[in-house]
Structure 1
Amino acid sequence: MTTPPDLDPVIHAQARLRVVAALSALPTGDHMTFPYLQKVLDMTAGNLSVHLGKLEEARYVEITKTHQGRRPVTYVALTSRGRAAFDDYTTAIRALLDGAAGTEQP
């Protein structure tokens, strides 16, 4: 019997998985505004902020605060490290599911 693959605990939390999945759909180097990401994920600003903080601490996302005119804007982007971690995570999930599909009960 093979050992199941390790799942990245930073990404594995449901909310963070949704954040990383949404950002991974963007082309490399592109970003999304905080309010748009919040709307897409249907999350409160506080909840999204907490999870983005964890992802930023792991260097999976980059948060840029700037201004458009006089209005503050926050952009969120998936880093190359975050994209690689998400790719590894999805590979591990597929391996786990493929392994589960191949097990037979006596």
Structure 2
Amino acid sequence: MSIDAETARKVAKLARIRVEEDELSALAGEFNTILGFIEQLQTVDVEGVEPMTSVTPQRLKRRADTVTDGDRQAAVLANAPDAREGFFAVPKVVE
């Protein structure tokens, strides 16, 4: 797959990036370099390689998936600079 200047223009527009006309060919070249690297990665044999979540072997900590009521409204609102009627009170930002 090859990216030309017109495709680079479309990608820049979709990404909402302003690219000058004289820079489109350089951007297309960068896209082609990235796509070439992706094609190179496609040739790597990964048969039998297990997926990893980290480069160091570790197990994620697990907790019981239980539903709790919470019931900590007073403790949470104690941190608020201003609380009214059980809610955080914030200054009005829209007139």
State TM-score, norm by structure 2. Answer: 0.30
State TM-score, norm by structure 1. Answer: 0.27
Q: Which has the larger radius of gyration?
A: 2
Q: Which has the higher helix share?
A: 1
Q: Which has the higher strand share?
A: 1
Q: Which has the higher contact order (CA 8 A, sep 6+)?
A: 1
